Amino acid sequence: MQSLLLNIKRFTFLICCAILYGNSFAQIGSLLSFTAIDSAAYVQLDSIKVKNLTAGDEYMLYWPDTVFLYWVGIHEENIIIDDFRLSQNFPNPTSGSTNINIYMPERDMVAITITDISGKKLIFDERILEAGNHTFCFTPERKGIYFLSACRKNNSKSIKIISQGNAIYGRGSLVYSGYKEALSVLKSGKSENEILKPLFDEFLFIGYADGLESGIQDDVYIGDQTYTFQFATNIPCPGISAIKYLGQDYNTIQVFSQCWLTKNLNVGTMIEGNQAMYDNGILEKYCFDNLEENCDQYGGLYQWNEAMQYDETEGARGICPEGWHIPSNDEWKILEGAVDSQFGIGDPIWDEYDFRGFDAAENLKSLNGWYASGNGIDLYGFAVLPAGWLYTMNIFEELTRVSHLWSSSMHDYYTSYGRRFLYNANQSYLDGGEVEFGWSVRCLKDEIYGNED
């Protein structure tokens, strides 16, 4: 996979960022690169939607020139970015003036040249720039494609600028419009043994290609990173078609950028439904009506704390195999948006409670086994079965009619988010289940992005 990604054309997206908190923070940037594949074949992205879930911002970036400026602040001593950088203009395409950022690691001479698509030189600007970030405003003379290059010593950077404006602006212009000096931060006063983690924002990235969409959610830390959108569906996860775990065999299924197990977990020792689960070092499960054969068919039922193995961390492994985890509420939302025919990934409808969307549940439910012909069409091989649930001590409910699946995200101290699938509904249902309920567990493959050191 790595060698493949090195040889395919990259969809590159620059995040150069900073949040400043007092004098003990420095500014530093990250270069995030995006590409896309269908199984192992390269896919050219049309665009990317960037949603900063922490700040509540949303941006749309278009192929091939996509840039988003975002600064990250960290506690560190004397941090200096030592790369000469030319950021893609923003906005791009532009219908008027557009901004360009140049980062200088030290005071030096820079030569800036702008040419049109024929190679004719339109603007030349040579000046000494101090260490730090410098902003220029470029106004193109008319609609068309322009190339801007910045050269420092023997290091040259170039970008392509697309002007879609119909007005004629004369000869065009490049105006120097701002400067922010590079920071050298002081000691924070913390103990030398205390680890200070970088600040981060949580992002949802949505890649679009040929009418399809694929989503990745990640906390963006310091450090360059490549994200790969996957557009394969209804096939075994590339490179990991099946696993064996605690004596059980599980197939995998790729649903765009998520790799799932194709059935509910069935692990642990069965206990009667009139017994509570405790942190006793024994992995335990309920089977519907206290019959082991129901676990064999539908998977086990687990109280939330047992499913999470008494770890309340969102995205915890819980009872899943190593390298897998119990999906968060947000990861369920990505799945719902990816498979619904009317409401896409990141649509606000997925934040609502109860029934949401149009047909996500129908597209995820199994082809058979549901009461009163309430079967799904299982477009993606996810095959949700109507496993029922344990309501309270030894009271099992709704086998063949309902499936409840845990998330790893708590709603409050007593309840956790989950998903309910019903025999008589095609919509997805965001549920909040009491942690003492016995619900099913479906595992999601870990994907590690960013710099988490």
What is the secondary structure of 39-85 as a DSSP string? Answer: TTEE----EEEEEETTTTEEEEEESSSEE----EEE--SS------E
Residues 436 and 345 in one domain: yes
Q: Is 195 inside any structural domain?
A: yes
Q: Is 103 inside any structural domain?
A: no
pLDDT computed for residue 62 by the predictor:
76
pLDDT computed for residue 270 by the predictor:
98
Residues 198 and 314 in one domain: no
Residues 201 and 300 in one domain: no
Residue 360, phi then psi, degrees to nearest 5: -60, -45
Tokens of 161: 């600028």
**What count of other Cβ atoms lies within 10 Å of the Cβ of residue 171?**
9
Q: What is the DSSP code (8-state) at residue 326?
A: P
Q: Considering just the CA atoms, what is the radius of gyration of the chain in Å? A: 26
As a whole number of angstroms, the distance between CA 452 and CA 220 comes to 9
- Among candidates 112, 17, 8, 24, which has minimal Cα distance to 69? 17
Domain end marker among 172, 196, 231: 231
* Strand bridging mode 144-152 / 389-392: unpaired
- Among candidates 312, 268, 289, 307, which has minimal Cα distance to 405? 307
User: How far from 17 is each of 11, 20, 27, 81, 239, CA to CA, in Å?
Assistant: 19, 10, 7, 12, 35
- Among candidates 41, 446, 404, which has minimal Cα distance to 260? 446
Domain end marker among 231, 256, 289: 231
Q: Which residues contact 412 (CB under 8 A, 6 or more apart)?
A: none
Residue numbers of the domain that contains 22: 1-79+183-231
- Among candidates 3, 14, 9, which has minimal Cα distance to 45? 9
Inter-residue contact 79 to 185 (CB < 8 Å): yes
- Among candidates 157, 123, 159, 156, which has minimal Cα distance to 139? 123
User: How far from 151 is each of 110, 123, 219, 305, 354, CA to CA, in Å?
Assistant: 6, 14, 33, 58, 57
Q: Is 161 inside any structural domain?
A: no
Tokens of 301: 């039922």
Residues 345 and 215 in one domain: no
Residues 212 and 301 in one domain: no
Query: How many separate domains does the chain show?
Result: 2
How many angstroms from the chain centroid is the CA of residue 162? 28
SS3 348: helix
Task: Establish how many alpha carbons lie within 13 A of residue 203's alpha carbon, considering only the half-sphere containing its beta carbon.
Answer: 22
- Among candidates 183, 189, 157, 226, which has minimal Cα distance to 5? 226
Residues 73 and 23 in one domain: yes
As a whole number of angstroms, the distance between CA 378 and CA 361 comes to 9
- Among candidates 74, 75, 86, 73, which has minimal Cα distance to 31? 86
Residues 335 and 385 in one domain: yes
Q: Is 85 inside any structural domain?
A: no
N residues, the chain: 453
Residue type, 259: C
pLDDT computed for residue 165 by the predictor:
67
* Prediction pTM value: 0.70
Residues 190 and 307 in one domain: no
Q: Is 160 inside any structural domain?
A: no
What is the secondary structure of 1-37 as a DSSP string? Answer: -HHHHHHSPPEEEEE------GGG-EEE-EEEEEEEE
Residues 359 and 311 in one domain: yes
β-pair partners for 175: 137
Q: Is 368 inside any structural domain?
A: yes
β-pair partners for 192: none
Q: What is the DSSP code (8-state) at residue 350?
A: G
* Strand bridging mode 132-139 / 98-104: antiparallel
Q: Is 53 inside any structural domain?
A: yes
Q: Which residues contact 218 (CB under 8 A, 6 or more apart)?
A: 202, 203, 205, 227, 449, 450
Inter-residue contact 381 to 365 (CB < 8 Å): no
Residues 261 and 353 in one domain: yes
* Residue stretches of the chain with pLDDT short of 70: 1-30, 64-82, 90, 92, 165-171, 180-200, 221-223, 450-453
Residues 344 and 285 in one domain: yes
How many angstroms from the chain centroid is the CA of residue 55? 15
Residues 363 and 266 in one domain: yes
Domain end marker among 231, 258, 289: 231
Inter-residue long-range contacts of 287-293, CB under 8 Å, 24+ positions, other chains counted: 288/387, 288/388, 288/390, 288/396, 288/399, 289/396, 289/399, 290/394
Continuous segment of H or E residues that includes residue 160 = strand 155-163
